[in-house]
């Protein structure tokens, strides 16, 4: 279902938690506190210890490999369908990637200790997060092929669609510069692809403010990876 034109005012839930039995959901929410994440806020850097887990409710974040011998590359976009701090599920407390906030908004936060307690006490939570991990691994291999074979314009269209889903709005903030970092291409490449999309009236943008005008058109331009990744999630966790 395509999001409404305006941000839905209704309170959003995190989809990993919403599907749990009431008891289990209470168990984890009782250990959580609501926080507001600001755009650009950095949640983790490679090599750091993971202090908190986050369950986004109406915000979304990018996980990227930081610029090293290359320019940087997004490996995952997480909204209220996922969580931040997945290594904790496996008992690992060190992250290898940078996480930063793409779209500002509320999330549940709990300490790694609190998360572990909840995980030990709720089999339903553990089972669901295990399924989530499997989806992530498969989405990662999909992203691998996508990044290798598909053109920048298609990959950009895909990113915009995913972002629209996670923003729950057809409007969100992101500059060409940032997109270049996420897609692993030059900023100029983004400008070229984006203006092509704008020329076809699929999107409109202006100084970092992007609006999706024609979602169906974007889907036609995006590679099949868009639908495939979402379908996999729905099939396992939906």
Partner DNA sequence: CAGCGTCTGTTCGCTAACACACAAAGCCAT
Partner DNA sequence: ATGGCTTTGTGTGTTAGCGAACAGACGCTG
Is 207 an interacting residue with respect to a second copy (CB under 8 A)? no
Site stretch for DNA (CB under 7 A), options 8-16, 113-121, 132-140, 187-195: 187-195
Residue of 41, 52, 58 lying closest to 87 (CA atoms): 52
Q: Does 34 bind DNA (CB under 7 A)?
A: no
Chosen from a second copy, DNA, none, partner binding at 151 (C-beta under 5 to 8 Å by type): DNA
Which of DNA, a second copy, none binds 19 (CB below 5-8 Å, type-dependent)?
A: none
Using CB under 7 A, count the residues that bind DNA.
Answer: 22
Instruction: Annotate each residue in 2-31 with x if it binds DNA (CB under 7 A) or - if it does not, as one string.
Output: ------------------------------
**Segment near DNA (CB under 7 A); pick from 1-9, 80-88, 103-111, 198-206:** 198-206
CA distances from 223 to 174, 214, 228 (A): 21, 16, 9
Per-residue x/- track, 49-88, a second copy (CB under 8 A): ----------------x--xxxx-x-x----------xx-
Nearer to a second copy, 98 or 168 (CB): 98
**Is residue 11 close enough to count as binding a second copy by CB under 8 A?**
no
Exposure letters 209-223 (e unless 16+ CB within 10 A, then b) = ebebeebebbbebbb
Candidate list 42, 145, 151, 228; residue touching DNA; CB under 7 A: 151
The interface mask with DNA, positions 92-131, x = CB under 7 A, is ----------------------------------------
Shortest distance, position 32 Cβ to a second copy, whole Å = 23
- Nearest-10 crossing angle of helices 176-183, 187-199: 110
Q: Which of DNA, a second copy, none does residue 153 bind (CB under 5 to 8 Å by kind)?
A: DNA
């Amino acid at each position: 279902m395509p999001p409404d034109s305006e941000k839905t005012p209704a309170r959003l839930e995190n989809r990993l938690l919403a599907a749990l039995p009431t008891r289990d959901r209470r168990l984890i929410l009782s250990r959580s506190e609501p926080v507001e994440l600001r755009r650009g806020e950095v949640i983790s850097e490679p090599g750091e210890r993971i202090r908190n887990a986050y369950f986004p409710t109406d915000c979304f974040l990018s996980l990227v490999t930081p610029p090293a011998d290359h320019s940087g590359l997004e490996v995952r976009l997480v909204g209220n369908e996922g969580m931040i701090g997945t290594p904790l599920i496996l008992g690992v407390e060190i992250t290898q990637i940078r996480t930063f906030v793409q779209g500002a908004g509320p999330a549940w936060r709990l300490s790694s200790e609190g998360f572990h307690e909840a995980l030990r006490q709720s089999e339903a939570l553990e089972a669901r997060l295990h399924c989530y991990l499997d989806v992530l691994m498969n989405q990662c291999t999909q992203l691998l092929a996508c990044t290798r074979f598909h053109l920048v314009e298609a990959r950009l269209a895909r990113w915009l669609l995913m972002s629209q889903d996670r923003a729950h709005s057809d409007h969100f903030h992101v500059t060409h510069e940032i997109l270049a970092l996420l897609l692993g291409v030059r900023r100029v490449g983004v400008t070229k692809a984006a203006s092509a999309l704008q020329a076809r009236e699929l999107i409109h943008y202006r100084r970092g403010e992007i609006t999706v005008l024609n979602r169906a058109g974007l889907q036609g331009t995006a590679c099949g990876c868009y639908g495939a990744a979402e379908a996999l999630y729905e099939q396992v966790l939906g």
